[in-house]
């Protein structure tokens, strides 16, 4: 059993490069990608080498520092613009880029090495604050669980979706550290990219949790016949009224949770809140390439004459969320974030 959770994003000081755990290769292979250029970081966010809202934000922050190291002051604004065009829903990306931009603008006379150093320090601070926040959030969330808990989760909101420890999975880690027993975790497979089957099960199994993979189509039947104490999921963007965008399928899960009287908790850092969004209607939802849906498990493809729809996220209405767990505490409905 590992006590230290695995990381998704590293800064390699000697190489001046961002090292990313290639999440596309898991669980078959634990391999890493080195990014020496901002374009490689942007591509890695787009192709989901690195994914999960906080991890995307952290990788992008290092990407901005990388741009300063390679191209100096003039390279920073275009780098931030390029990174902002990678994925639209996870607001952590934009929160992070805004913060890097503010740091850049507060040092108008810094050039070369001095500029790189301040931007790298800012990126490292974003990274460290995320891990510390996840630990605080984990401790708050753990108190919501009974002494022996059976939990369900969706997608991957773990250490590898963040700077470390995880949000939803961080709550489980913290609960265990607190002496509670996580009897079993049901991980939704999470069509079409299988973050639950490939990543959550790998991450939890590696850390010695009892994990069972189900497809999201099985979640209702499972809730009907098995007692589930809580569903804990992450978030990509939370609006002022508590409406929450998360991986496609979360909304359906929340409806099932209501019917079966299972509390659905969202665990997310403050960097996931978009206080400019009044409700879920204001959250942009990423639609990804059709190919992800066309590809069938046996390697064959759905013919082009058949249409597919591939939104990467959906919005769970605040009314379906029992509580939102953050590093600032646990919020209960009615939500009115300021």
Among 90, 115, 137, 228, binds ligand MRU (CB under 6 A): 90
When the beta carbons of 99 and 237 are compared against ligand MRU, the nearer one is 237
Cα angle for residues 323, 325, 327 (degrees, 5° grid) = 155
Compute the distance between CA of residue 78 and CA of residue 143 in angstroms, rounded to an integer. Answer: 44
Q: If DSSP codes are grouped into helix, strand and coil, which group holds residue 83?
A: helix
* Nearest residue to 327 (alpha-carbon basis) of 191, 145, 104, 166: 166
When the beta carbons of 240 and 247 are compared against ligand MRU, the nearer one is 247
Which stretch, 101-109, 201-209, 233-241, 299-307, contacts ligand MRU (CB under 6 A)? Answer: 233-241
Helix (H) or strand (E) holding 255: helix 250-259
Asked if 133 touches ligand MRU (CB under 6 A), the answer is no
For ligand MRU, which residue has the nearest CB? 234
Label each residue of 107-161 as H, E or C.
CCCCCHHHHHHHHHHHHHHHHHHHHHHHHHHHHHHHCCCCCEEEEEECCCCCHHH
Asked if 211 touches ligand MRU (CB under 6 A), the answer is no
Check whether the bond before 96 is cis (ω within 30° of 0). no
Is the Cβ–Cβ distance between 195 and 247 less than 8 Å?
A: yes
Residues contacting ligand MRU: total by CB under 6 A: 17
When the beta carbons of 155 and 172 are compared against ligand MRU, the nearer one is 155
Q: Parallel, antiparallel, or unpaired for β 148-153 and 230-233?
A: parallel
Among 95, 167, 254, 326, binds ligand MRU (CB under 6 A): 167
Among 60, 161, 204, 256, binds ligand MRU (CB under 6 A): 161
Compute the distance between CA of residue 268 and CA of residue 91 in angstroms, rounded to an integer. Answer: 11
Asked if 155 touches ligand MRU (CB under 6 A), the answer is yes
Asked if 52 touches ligand MRU (CB under 6 A), the answer is yes
Catalytic residue flag (residue 243)? no
Check whether the bond before 184 is cis (ω within 30° of 0). no
As measured in angstroms, the least distance from the Cβ of 26 to ligand MRU is 12
When the beta carbons of 54 and 280 are compared against ligand MRU, the nearer one is 54
Asked if 235 touches ligand MRU (CB under 6 A), the answer is yes
Q: If DSSP codes are grouped into helix, strand and coil, which group holds residue 210?
A: coil
Is the Cβ–Cβ distance between 269 and 54 less than 8 Å?
A: yes
Among 95, 201, 246, 316, binds ligand MRU (CB under 6 A): 246
Asked if 54 touches ligand MRU (CB under 6 A), the answer is yes
Question: What residues are paired with 245 via a beta bridge?
Answer: 237, 315
Asked if 127 touches ligand MRU (CB under 6 A), the answer is no
Sequence length of the chain is 338
As measured in angstroms, the least distance from the Cβ of 134 to ligand MRU is 8
Compute the distance between CA of residue 19 and CA of residue 199 in angstroms, rounded to an integer. Answer: 18
Among 8, 42, 51, 324, binds ligand MRU (CB under 6 A): 51
Asked if 280 touches ligand MRU (CB under 6 A), the answer is no
* Nearest residue to 269 (alpha-carbon basis) of 61, 53, 89, 6: 53
Candidates 130, 188, 229, 236; catalytic one: 236
Among 247, 257, 265, 271, binds ligand MRU (CB under 6 A): 247
Which stretch, 99-107, 109-117, 229-237, 257-265, contacts ligand MRU (CB under 6 A)? Answer: 229-237
Q: So which residues are the catalytic ones?
A: 236
By CB under 6 A, name the binding residues for ligand MRU: 51-54, 90, 155, 157, 161-162, 167, 195, 234-236, 246-247, 312
């Amino acid at each position: 059993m590992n006590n230290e959770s695995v990381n998704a994003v590293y800064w390699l000081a000697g190489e001046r490069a961002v090292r990313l755990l290639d999440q596309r290769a898991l669980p078959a292979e634990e391999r890493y990608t080195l990014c020496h250029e901002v374009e490689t970081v942007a591509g890695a966010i787009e192709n989901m080498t690195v994914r999960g809202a906080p991890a995307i934000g952290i990788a992008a922050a290092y990407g901005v520092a990388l741009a300063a190291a390679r191209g100096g002051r003039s390279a920073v604004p275009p780098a931030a613009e390029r990174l902002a065009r990678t994925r639209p829903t996870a607001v952590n990306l934009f929160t992070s880029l805004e913060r890097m931009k503010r740091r850049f603008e507060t040092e108008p006379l810094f050039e070369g090495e001095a500029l790189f150093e301040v931007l790298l320090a800012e990126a490292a601070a974003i990274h460290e604050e995320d891990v510390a926040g996840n630990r605080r959030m984990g401790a708050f969330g753990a108190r919501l669980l009974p002494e022996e808990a059976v939990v369900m989760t969706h997608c991957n909101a773990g250490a590898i979706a963040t700077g470390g420890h995880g949000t939803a999975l961080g709550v489980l880690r913290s609960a265990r550290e607190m002496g509670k027993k996580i009897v079993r975790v049901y991980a939704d497979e999470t069509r079409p990219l299988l973050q639950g089957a490939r990543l959550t099960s790998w991450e939890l199994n590696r850390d010695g949790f009892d994990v069972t993979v189900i497809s999201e189509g099985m979640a209702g039947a499972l809730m009907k016949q098995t007692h589930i104490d809580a569903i804990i999921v992450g978030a990509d963007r939370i609006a002022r009224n508590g409406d929450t965008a998360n991986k496609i399928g979360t909304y359906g899960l929340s409806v099932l949770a209501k019917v079966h009287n299972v509390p659905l908790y969202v665990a997310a850092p403050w960097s996931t809140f978009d206080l400019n969004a009044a409700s879920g209607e204001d959250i942009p939802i990423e639609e990804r390439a059709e190919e992800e849906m066309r590809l069938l498990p046996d390697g064959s493809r759905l013919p082009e004459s058949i249409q597919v729809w591939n939104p990467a996220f959906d919005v769970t209405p605040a009314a379906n969320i029992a509580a939102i767990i953050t590093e600032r505490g646990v919020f209960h409905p009615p939500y009115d974030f300021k």
